[in-house]
Structure 1
């Protein structure tokens, strides 16, 4: 089972590593999009979210307090869904559909992150192929 969990962590974390890198490398374009969605201080928010994504993804990938990394990803995804993909504000049908898809994707990934939080916390020391034990103890 440990190897399956590791493969899942790698596949899950890769999405957020690449997304975080994109936030940093394409920060001007990403900040422009954040500004268009009404986010205050879009450039610092873009840079901060890029660092958060990379740190959280590495936490899950490497198994360094992976439960904390999962919690941070869940918080990021929930806030991103609400702030960046508010489909209910769209008037154009195509834009509304695109934003709804992104909103639902973020909610689904948030749910997966919460399940990982519970899994890592519950498995504790029994979960192999991690560098640290979980930070939280959920029974």
Structure 2
């Protein structure tokens, strides 16, 4: 079963690794999108969220305090859902649907990250194929 958990962890973080790379390598373009949502300090938000995703994804994938990594992903996902994908503010039906899909995706991923956090904390050192045990127990 350890190999299934490892494969699941790797598949789970692929989205975050790709997004982190985009946040950190295309920060100006991403900051423009954040500004279009009316949020302050767009450049700092893009770099901060990119680092949160990168650290969280690496932590979960490699099993280095994977519970903390899952928590970092939750800390990224929940505010992002509400700040960046506020579908209730959209008047265009297509834009509203797109934002609702992104909002629900972020909340669903946050739920999965919370479930992983619980799994890592509960299984502790018994969850194989990790570099460290959980930080929280």
Instruction: Please indicate, yes or no, whether the TM-score normalized by the shorter chain is above 0.5.
Output: yes
Q: Report the alpha carbon displacement of residue 48 of structure 1 after superposing the two structures with TM.
A: 1.1
Residue by residue, what CA displacement relative to the aligned partner does 1:89-111 show, whole Å, maximum 9, x if unpaired?
Answer: 01111110000000000000000
Q: Distance in 2 between matches of 1:105 and 1:5?
A: 21
Residue by residue, what CA displacement relative to the aligned partner does 1:7-38 show, whole Å, maximum 9, x if unpaired?
Answer: 00111111111110010111111111101111
* Superposition misfits of 4+ residues, deviation over 3 angstroms: none
Map 1:1-139 to 2 at 5 A: 1-137=1-137
Structure 1-normalised TM-score? Answer: 0.97
Residue by residue, what CA displacement relative to the aligned partner does 1:66-120 show, whole Å, maximum 9, x if unpaired?
Answer: 0001011012100000000000001111110000000000000000000000000
Q: Which runs of 5+ in 1 are unaligned?
A: none
Q: Distance in 2 between matches of 1:29 and 1:102?
A: 19
Structure 2-normalised TM-score? Answer: 0.98
Secondary structure of residue in 1 paired with 2:100: helix
Q: Which runs of 5+ in 2 are unaligned?
A: none
Residue-pair matches, total: 137
